[in-house]
Structure 1
Amino acid sequence: MYVAFDQLPPKARVWIYQASRPLSGPEIVSVMPALAHFADEWTSHGRSLLASAEFLHQHFLVIGLDEDVANASGCSIDASVRFVARLEQELGVTLLDKSQLAFLRAGTVYTVKHTELKAAVAAGTVLADTFYFDNTVATKAELDTHWPRPAGETWLARFFRHEEKNPALA
């Protein structure tokens, strides 16, 4: 059953899918009915799920689920991934690729390949206080309070400690 995203409780589970490029307003508007339909029809073992989906920052598809109503099963999670794959085709973007890390600078989202992160830190393109979209957040509360947050406060902190210990790499 569909619910507005802001009506999901703080402990609702979330899944974040990052687009390979910013989506335009018209693109997002065009898929809103599909997002609502998916959330409305999403089930787990025949039980309706209380769910929502929306795009944030023109880059991130976020699917939320109130697990107090019903938990997602492996099959229902597979169904959500199939839905995301269909959106990829419809929008002409990649949403399931996890190789890009997203950061926020001056109100603009930019990405760095995971394999190029060390070089970006050394070049000063990514700093400990650069806001990072940690797409591993698990709940709506974390999404609301820790997404994005300074890279040095996330799992990326280890990249900055290394730079402090070895200034020759900078």
Structure 2
Amino acid sequence: MYIPFDQLPPQARIWVYQASRPLTEAEQAEVSPVLERFATEWSSHGKGLQSSATLLHGRFLVLANNEDATAASGCSIDASVRFVRELEQRLGLSFMDRTQLAFQREGEVELVSMPELKSKVAAGDIDKNTLYFDTLITTYGDLQQAWPRPAGNSWLSRYF
């Protein structure tokens, strides 16, 4: 069962996938109904999930499920990964590359590769207050309250 994204409970589980490039406005318009259809049809062992899906900042695909209603099973999570892979093929981009980190700089999303991170920190381009889009967050409440969050308040704190 589809739930509008802004009506999810704070404890809803989320999965965040970061696109390797920004989606164009045309791609976003094309994908929006596909996301809603997936969330409507997403199920666990034949039982519909209370789920939602959206694109944020033209770059982040977020799938969500209200686990208090029905928990996502391994099979339903596998189905979501297949769905994301299909979107990758359709759009000609990657949502699965975890070697790129996304920061908010001057109102824009900037990707920094893991190998570049130390040099960017050493040069002062990234510091503990630089806003970071942590794709490891797991609840809708965290997304609403602390996303993006200062890099120093994430797993990146060890670099400062």
- 1:150 alignment counterpart: 150
The residue matched to 1:2 in structure 2 has which SS? coil
Structure 2 residue 16 is matched with structure 1 residue 16: yes
The residue identity in structure 1 corresponding to 2:148 is: P
The residue identity in structure 1 corresponding to 2:63 is: I
Identity value in percent: 56
- 2:104 alignment counterpart: 104
1:1-170 correspondence to structure 2 within 5 Å: 1-160=1-160
Q: CA–CA distance in 2 between the matches of 1:83 and 1:41?
A: 11
The residue identity in structure 2 corresponding to 1:144 is: Q
The count of corresponding residues between Structure 1 and Structure 2 is: 160
Q: CA–CA distance in 2 between the matches of 1:93 and 1:126?
A: 26
Q: CA–CA distance in 2 between the matches of 1:52 and 1:115?
A: 34
The residue identity in structure 1 corresponding to 2:94 is: T
Q: CA–CA distance in 1 between the matches of 2:115 and 2:81?
A: 25
Q: CA–CA distance in 2 between the matches of 1:19 and 1:123?
A: 26
| TM-score using structure 1 length | 0.92
Superposed CA RMSD in Å reads 0.8
The residue matched to 2:155 in structure 1 has which SS? coil
The residue matched to 2:51 in structure 1 has which SS? strand
The residue identity in structure 1 corresponding to 2:13 is: R
1:86-105 deviation line (CA, Å, top 9, x unaligned): 00011111101111000001
Greater Rg, structure 1 or structure 2?
1
The residue matched to 1:156 in structure 2 has which SS? helix
List gaps (5 residues or longer) in structure 1: 161-170
The residue matched to 2:36 in structure 1 has which SS? helix
List gaps (5 residues or longer) in structure 2: none
| TM-score using structure 2 length | 0.98
Q: CA–CA distance in 2 between the matches of 1:109 and 1:32?
A: 20
The residue identity in structure 1 corresponding to 2:107 is: G
Deviation at 1:115, TM superposition (A): 2.1
The residue identity in structure 2 corresponding to 1:111 is: L
1:43-63 deviation line (CA, Å, top 9, x unaligned): 101110010100001110000
Q: CA–CA distance in 1 between the matches of 2:4 and 2:29?
A: 15
1:117-154 deviation line (CA, Å, top 9, x unaligned): 11111112211110000111110000001110111111
The residue identity in structure 2 corresponding to 1:158 is: R
